[in-house]
Amino acid sequence: MNLREEYEKLEEKILSPLATLSSKSKGRLKKEEKCSIRTDFQRDRDRIIHSKAFRRLKHKTQVFIAPEGDHYRTRLTHTLEVAQIARTISRAIRLNEDLTEAIALGHDLGHTPFGHTGESALNEITSIGFKHNEQSLRVVDYLEKGEGLNLTFEVRDGILCHSGDLIPKTNEGKVVKLADKIAYINHDIDDAIRAGILTLDDLPKECIKVLGKGHSERINTMIRAVIEHALKYGEIALVGEVGEATWELRKYMFDNVYIDSEAKKEEEKARSVLKQLFLYYIKHPEVMPKEFYEKVQVYGLERIVCDYIAGMTDRYAIHEFNKLFIPMPWKLKF
């Protein structure tokens, strides 16, 4: 029995017309034999979970750089929260959960150390520009395993289009794009309150009146609004009163937490670390690992240096900086 084919038939029976069917995928960059057990989207999800880039997310900043405490979000826990929210929405409106989950788990694979601070630092110092969503696609297309993961078109599109003005071509991708915002708005509030930067009373009262006081209550309100709109209008969007309150709350977070707050006091140090690493590797590309240095002729020096730095965890970037720029004690031999 071909279990994949059986599951593809089941998708055709139970999923909404809004869903993307595994059997209708536009395929991969390189053709390969299909799995007899898993659909193409299930294979993509598994490839992402088992990748080194995914594991490194546990030591990459979400918002707080080097926080003292075990309960602050990292890029990995953020990714898992996005996946949970996106799957809840997709299941409720009968979209393809496997596609949704694969996109969600892969959307931040290209994020730099030190979060968006690192992203902006690389974007400023390189002449070719740097965006984390484009780097995430580059990770799954070229960098992971030295040849990429050969994911499906639909997953690759969702990863690329989860950020900025790009619009995903699948409804599952649109769900992840919204889930990303729902997740970070709420968990960043939670972390900011934990850090003493905000109190619940500081949050805009009109927004809280609409969305709810508690963390789970606000998430539930946003998720329900997306689901109800999708079921009624066949459109993936967060609009109306809940949408307006959500985007106002997001603006509040940018004004009070993401920019010039106590949470960001280490930013300039982080920016300096990545910029100095970039300049050093541009002058001394041979000190990069062999698998990167060998690709300079293929992709160009700046792109490879960005690839190398973007793949670092926070602590590895600091380790490399210390090794290259901080004098080490001279060890006496007795």
- Give me 244's structure tokens: 């307006």
Beta bridge partners of 61: 74
Separation of alpha carbons 220 and 218, rounded Å = 5
User: Do 304 and 311 meet the contact criterion of CB atoms below 8 Å apart?
Assistant: no
Predicted pLDDT at 277: 98
Q: What is the sign, positive or negative, of the torsion defined by CA atoms of 72, 74, 76, 82?
A: positive
Mean pLDDT of 94-117: 97
pLDDT, position 153: 98
| pLDDT score, position 11 | 98
pLDDT band at 40 (very low <50, low <70, confident <90, very high): very high
pLDDT at 1 over 90: no
Q: For residue 287, what is the DSSP state?
A: G
**Entry pTM:** 0.95
Taking 70 as the threshold, does the pLDDT of residue 256 lie above it? yes
Instruction: Tell me the C-alpha to C-alpha distance, in Å, between residue 190 and each of 200, 227, 275.
Output: 9, 24, 31
Q: Which string of b and e fits 288-324 if b means at least 16 CB within 10 Å?
A: beeebbebbeebeebbbbbbbbbbbbbeebbebbeee
With cut-offs at 50, 70 and 90, classify the pLDDT of residue 264: low
Rg (the chain; Cα; Å): 21
Would you say residue 312 has pLDDT above 80? yes
| Over residues 124-134, mean pLDDT | 97
Task: With H, G, I as helix, E, B as strand and everything else as coil, classify residue 28.
Answer: strand
pLDDT exceeds cutoff 80 at 263: no
Q: What is the mean pLDDT of residues 158-177?
A: 97
For the chain, domains (ranges, CATH) are 40-325 (1.10.3210.10)
Report residue 258 as tokens.
């993401």
- Taking only the tens place, the pLDDT of each residue in 6-26 is 999 999 999 999 999 999 999
Q: Is the pLDDT of residue 265 over 80?
A: no
Q: 152 in helix, strand or coil?
A: strand
Report the pLDDT averaged over residues 120-146. Answer: 97
Q: Is the pLDDT of residue 262 over 90?
A: no
Helices (H), 36-170: 40-49, 52-56, 75-92, 97-106, 115-125, 132-138, 153-160
**Whether pLDDT at 68 is above 90:** no
For residues 168 and 174, the answer to whether their CB atoms sit within 8 Å is: yes
pLDDT above 70 as % of the chain: 95
Calculate mean pLDDT across residues 186-195: 91
